[in-house]
Each structure stands twice: as C-alpha cells, then as structure tokens.
C-alpha cells in the first residue's frame, strides 16, 4: 500500500509539474509580443512624422522650383532684365534721376543730385 500511495503522489506531482513552466513560457511570450508591438508602433509613428515633414519640404521645394522657372523665363526678356538691373543695382538711363524710397522716406536723393550736378558740369 505504501508503494501505491507513492505512485499516486508522484503521478500528482508529474501531472501539475509542467503548469508553472507553461505559465512562465506564456507570460514570456506575451511580454515579448507586447514589446515588439510597442517598438513597431513607435517606429510607424516616427516614420509617419518624418513622411509628413518630407512632404512639406517637398511642396516647398516645388514652389521654389516654380518660382525659379518663372524667374528664368522672365530673364529671357530684355525689357525685364533692363528693369531688374535698374531697380536692383540703381542703373539709370541718360537723363533719369534715381530715387530710392524705403519706408516712405526718400533715400539716396542727395547722392543722385550730386551725380547730376557732376554730369551737368561735364
């Protein structure tokens, strides 16, 4: 009888012996799964943010390209080039006075008048 009790108790130990190992394996699997999902979610969020930033930059570059193409087309026109040079670099035609107005004030009037007087003296 003692032997049969021992066999029964061993059988009971073997019957429930794998359960803690199985629970530990399941918990480990769930932790790894959650960790992987979290990491992938963060990577997706980062990629979406980067994509939005790059799309914004791309659109700005497209606008800049369109502006530059327009400027190139304008620079092929001799009248535009002459007007641009006159405005940007204060070039003038014979007999013209150049007055630069900044914030409602005339800037450079004296210099131009002095140049006119020098031209008249010549």
pLDDT at 26: 96
> Which sequence spans correspond to the domains of the chain?
18-76
Task: Annotate 10-34 with DSSP letters as a single string.
Answer: HHHHHHHHSHHHHHHHHHHHHHHHH
How far, in Å, CA of 81 to CA of 89, rounded? 11
* Per-residue pLDDT tens listing for the chain (122 residues): 455 555 555 555 556 678 888 999 999 999 999 999 999 999 999 999 999 999 999 999 999 999 999 999 999 999 988 888 887 877 777 777 777 777 777 666 544 444 444 545 54
Q: How far is Cα of residue 83 from the mean position of the Cα atoms in its chain?
A: 36
* Measured torsion, CA atoms of residues 57, 60, 65, 68, in degrees rounded to the nearest 10: -130
How far, in Å, CA of 92 to CA of 101, rounded? 16
Q: Taken in order 87, 90, 96, 97, is the CA torsion positive or negative?
A: positive
**pTM of the complete model:** 0.50
């Amino acid at each position: 009888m003692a032997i049969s009790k021992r066999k029964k108790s061993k059988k009971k130990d073997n019957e429930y012996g794998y359960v803690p190992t199985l629970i530990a394996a399941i918990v480990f699997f769930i932790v790894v799964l959650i960790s992987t999902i979290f990491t992938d979610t963060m990577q997706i969020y980062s990629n979406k943010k980067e994509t939005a930033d790059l799309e914004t930059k791309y659109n700005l570059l497209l606008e800049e390209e369109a502006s530059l193409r327009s400027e190139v087309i304008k620079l092929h026109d001799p009248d535009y080039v002459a007007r641009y040079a006159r405005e940007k670099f204060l070039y003038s035609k014979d007999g013209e006075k150049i007055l630069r107005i900044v914030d409602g004030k005339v800037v450079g009037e004296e210099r131009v008048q002095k140049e006119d007087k020098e031209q008249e003296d010549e």
